[in-house]
Amino acid sequence: MAQSIKISNAEMEVLRDESKTFGRSIAGQAEHWMRIGRAIEQSEHFNYRKIQAVLKGTLNPDHLNRDEQEVYLDDLVVSMKQAQPKMEKYFAERNKAGKGVGLDDSDTVVFASDNRTPN
């Protein structure tokens, strides 16, 4: 039975491009990558458990080989884009205190409450 999943727009664009390049359907390309990913994670030369340990802070990234470090960095970027409850609380408190809560594309401090910028 077919199932639906949500994929970010950026990843979907890559999936579409690669499926055209290799003459696969979008689903076929996704399944192909899933098989490759599963094989890599199960490989004795590629240890995803080490990557997970580094992401949890229980292992130094220097213990990863080059391929593992690439996957670690990709996973790190993805995890950083996902707001954690502690982060949301921290920025809500900053916003309530009238402090900046982030930077815009031009590195200007912004405020969530009214999109103000500092003087």
Tens digits of per-residue pLDDT, 36-87?
888 888 887 888 889 889 988 999 999 999 888 988 888 888 777 766 777 7
Which residues, including other chains, have CB under 8 Å from residue 59's CB and lie 6 or more apart?
50, 53
Helices and strands (H, E) in the chain, number of each type: 5, 2
> Are 54 and 73 within 8 A, CB to CB?
no
pTM to 2 decimals? 0.48
In this prediction, residue 113 has a pLDDT band, given cuts at 50, 70 and 90, of low
pLDDT, the chain, mean: 82
Flag whether pLDDT at 117 surpasses 60.
Answer: no
* Per-domain boundaries in the chain: 9-81, 83-119
